[in-house]
Amino acid sequence: MSFLLKLFFTTFIFKNAVCNMKNTLVIIADDGGFEMGTYRNHIVQTPNLDALAKKSLIFNNAYTSVSSCSPSRSAILTGLPSHQNGMYGLHNGVHNFNSLENIKSLPLMLSTRGVRTGIIGKKHVGPKQNFRFDYSETEENNSILQVGRNITKMKLLVREFFSTQNHSKPFFLYIGFHDPHRCGHTHPEYGNFCERFGNGEPGMGLIKDWTPILYQPEQVELPYYVQDTRPAREDIAAQYTTISRLDQGVGLILKELKDSGFDSNTMIIYTSDNGIPFPGGRTNLYDSGIGVPLFISTPEQKRKNEVTYSLSSLLDITPTVLDWHEIKYKRKKTPLTGRSLLPLLDKETVNANETVFASHSLHEITMYYPMRAVRTHAFKLIHNLNYLMPYPIDQDFFLSPSFQDILNNTKEGHPTYWYRSLNDYYFRQQWELFDLKEDPEETTNLAYKSEYKDVFTKLKSQLTDWMKATADPWLCSPSGVLEDAGFFKHSPQCFALNNNT
């Protein structure tokens, strides 16, 4: 065979290999909600997210499995709910939660199969050996403000990752924005949402690629669970500015993807770890706390700029990524309860009996309030295990203008203009059942009404089965003790405490 013929075949094989290579880009917003044009917000400007949505399947019924940062990210990166992977609360500082040592994360599974892994921005999970990436620029070795909010810095890190990527090897790149998380607790000098960080004002620094967009409080669109008052509107306006920075950052990252030549064989997933940090939002298992945006874009999918109403969970991300890379999940002791979402990219398959589950144990270390939930298209059942205690409030949310407004008006006996009373928010019944068709705001508890007994019983049974399947340590709480070792190793049992719960 002549040299030229050998060169031709070698080039042909290499181009075919690159063409067939499958890569993944996952972009996670931090406390990001539905404030974008795609989800019918007509005020906040998000042209880059909206452009991505037009190339994607848009999920209208996507939910996080836990409404807290570290637990949610651990669930995204393992496919296991937080009570199963061990990340019960926040990873940082005094909270100090980590996943169990035997947990194998998505980046480790991919790396063992020849996929190069990278993470840029907010990681917020541990231990390091469980969530090891080949390329890592996070809060572990940078300022989180720089790698999570400075979109110019993030752009350059993405460029560095792509410039060092072997075109004959697939990659998985995870981008964790810190926007639009609050920062009034940690960096109040930059505003409640760090909306002044990098805006060029004296002492604020300058993010070269960011054009700040300011919003008038009178113009913002309030979700139903945020009260219509001046402080709340100003709070939302600040959030919008930070969302606009997130959007411009997404645009920069997608441009780097295209300029590098990887856009033709890369699956893009955009979502958020949980709901927005407002009253009724983050840390709650109401839809206002667990509902999240979700887009999935692949080069060859049939459904683009279309909406799916199929119930989907962030627990589905790991099986979706594994499916995209044609890797089988083989850990029989910790089976995944999520599913691959790839079939939905070509055909809608809504099932009336679909369910998604949620499991929340803590947020901050002082916020012990375990909850479990099951949601169908029609109903949701929430089990508040620590219902005799008041619902806890986290530090940065406590300082927020929105919560202070509700708190002060309640103390002074003034109208709050909120959809709940603060007392009802604090003190919840052990079981909450909601008819989501008639009561989408989840304000009327049907759990103790006789006419809903059959619905309650069915959902409770489904929730219990899921807790068993995911080895939930809280399976018997609060009315019993789970014995699953020694004599009960092969036949775990709940023993009643007779504590009137």
User: Quick one: pLDDT band at residue 359, thresholds 50, 70, 90?
Assistant: very high
pLDDT top residue among 245 and 6: 245
Asked whether the predicted pLDDT for residue 184 surpasses 80, the reply is: yes
Same fold: 23-346 with 359-471? no
The dotted CATH code for 23-346 is 3.40.720.10
Tell me the C-alpha distance between 321 and 24, whole Å. Answer: 7
Asked whether the predicted pLDDT for residue 11 surpasses 60, the reply is: no
CATH topology of domain 359-471: Arylsulfatase, C-terminal domain (3.30.1120)
Name the active-site residue from 69, 183, 194, 476. 69
Asked whether the predicted pLDDT for residue 16 surpasses 60, the reply is: no
Q: How does pLDDT run across 293-323, given as a tens digit for each residue?
A: 999 999 999 999 999 999 999 999 999 999 9
Q: How many CB atoms lie within 10 A of CB 14?
A: 12
Strands 171-176 and 379-384: what pairing? unpaired
Asked whether the predicted pLDDT for residue 3 surpasses 80, the reply is: no
Instruction: Kindly report the backbone phi and psi dihedral angles of residue 431, in degrees, each rounded to the nearest multiple of 5, phi listed first.
Output: -120, 135
DSSP labels, 353-367: T--EEEEE--SSTT-
User: Quick one: pLDDT band at residue 7, thresholds 50, 70, 90?
Assistant: very low
Q: What torsion, rounded to 10 degrees, do the Cα atoms 36, 41, 44, 47 define?
A: 50
pTM assigned to the model: 0.95
Share of residues in the chain with pLDDT > 70 (%): 96
Asked whether the predicted pLDDT for residue 4 surpasses 80, the reply is: no
Q: How does pLDDT run across 215-242, given as a tens digit for each residue?
A: 999 999 999 999 999 999 999 999 999 9
69 flagged as catalytic: yes
Closest Cα partner for 115 from 162, 171, 174, 165? 171
Predicted local confidence at residue 10, as pLDDT: 42
Asked whether the predicted pLDDT for residue 13 surpasses 90, the reply is: no
Q: How does pLDDT run across 397-446, given as a tens digit for each residue?
A: 999 999 999 999 999 999 999 999 999 999 999 999 999 999 999 999 99
Predicted local confidence at residue 21, as pLDDT: 87
Domain boundaries, the chain: 23-346, 359-471, 472-500
Query: What does the mean pLDDT of the chain come to?
Result: 95
Q: How does pLDDT run across 153-164, given as a tens digit for each residue?
A: 999 999 999 999
